[in-house]
Amino acid sequence: MPVSVVVGGQFGSEGKGKVALEWARNSTAPRVAVARVGGPNSGHTAYDRTGRRFALRQMPAGAIDRNVDVVFPPGSFIDAEVLRREIEVLDYPRERIFISPYANVISGEHKVWETKSGLVAGIGSTGSGVGAAVMAAAAREAANFSLQRHDAEHCAPLEPYLCDTTLLMRQWLNAKSRVIIEGTQGFGLSLYHSGLWPKVTSRSTTAASALDECGLGPIDVDDVTLVIRSFPIRVAGNSGPLTKETTWEAIAASIGAKEDLREYTTVTKMVRRVGVFDPEIVKKAVATNNPTRIVMNHLDYVAGPLVGTAICALAREFIDYVECSIGRSIDFLGFSPTSLIERSATSVCAT
């Protein structure tokens, strides 16, 4: 059952790409593949071994070391031009990229429709065309719906990468390879499960949904990782409720940080909204995904950077609060965009 699924427990930008990359680097399987579900309406950021930062919208962040197979399964949504640019930026080995002929392709008309629909202002949509592409697929060429579905099989730039990705991954899994599914966005944006409709995305964002979009079965999975962050974010604009919304300036002042902590959305380059940790949305995410392990990132916003493996009392107090409030242990801790350490490996600093 060598499949790992990495999903977000809040509203996105929890650090899923960083975690997927870490799991890929630490895998001892004879072959590792990273499958990217969803579409280019969310970005994943990670750092390669040289320290170079990549903010990717289409290619999975778990692949930035350029040494794993990359899969775009039937349930993925592809902007061919975005994908082309990222393949070139990464100089990714073309022979290690595999795309299902059934994968959905985002067209210019999909983007135009979203721009004109009012969704960008109405719900904080990125206007990347994913929602319109989802609607076109569901409409099934209905006479009263103008948008058409496009697939990878009929998209010339994607032809070199086409194959039966489900059959291919099944062969890999039978040979004890590791497949890591890099989920997108977060539980609080899930179309079906968050309870925050209509301020949600156009897809379900749970581990089960990611697995279905990949074309794999439940018994393939032996690892579900839920990634959360100390201060949850939502995208800019009228993007929906955010419990106890605060400011980046207030967070910086609380830890004596002099640098600008503001985060910007990968797609629209706007300042993200930020809130105080809300256990309720995470408890729902835990109940729905039943993760085997939980990662908490952005702990440097609580207590500053980590020194060695010794966490300060303030960080320990916050982690204890989170664990008590969600009823689960935190297994891995992140204090920077690149750090990820096992909870069991930490100690409490003397001061």
Lowest mean pLDDT across 17-21, 110-114, 121-125: 121-125
Q: Identify the pLDDT of residue 116.
A: 82
Contact yes or no for 201/189 (Cβ under 8 A): yes
Task: Give the confidence band of 124 by pLDDT, cuts at 50, 70, 90.
Answer: low
* Tens of pLDDT, residues 210-258: 999 999 999 999 999 999 999 999 988 788 889 899 999 999 998 888 8
Q: CATH homologous superfamily for 3-348?
A: Adenylosuccinate Synthetase, subunit A, domain 1 (3.40.440.10)
The fraction of the chain above a pLDDT of 70, given in percent, is 97
Question: Taking 60 as the threshold, does the pLDDT of residue 351 lie above it?
Answer: no
Q: Identify the pLDDT of residue 149.
A: 96
Q: Identify the pLDDT of residue 268.
A: 73
The β-bridge relationship of strands 332-333 and 104-105 is unpaired
What phi and psi, each to the nearest 5 degrees, are found at residue 294? Answer: -125, 135
Contact yes or no for 324/256 (Cβ under 8 A): no
* Alpha-carbon gap, residue 116 to 114, rounded angstroms: 5
Lowest mean pLDDT across 224-238, 277-291, 307-321: 307-321
Answer whether the bond into residue 198 is a cis peptide, omega within 30°: yes
The two structure tokens encoding residue 194: 């968050």
State the pTM of this model.
Answer: 0.94
Contact yes or no for 289/206 (Cβ under 8 A): yes
Calculate mean pLDDT across residues 148-172.
97
Closest CA relative to residue 37, chosen from 64, 74, 62: 74
For the chain, give every domain's residue range.
Answer: 3-348
Amino acid identity, residue 231? Answer: F
Q: Which residue has the higher pLDDT, 127 or 244?
A: 244
The conformation of residue 300, written as its DSSP 8-state character, comes to H
* Tens of pLDDT, residues 87-108: 999 999 999 999 999 999 999 9
Question: Taking 80 as the threshold, does the pLDDT of residue 133 lie above it?
Answer: yes
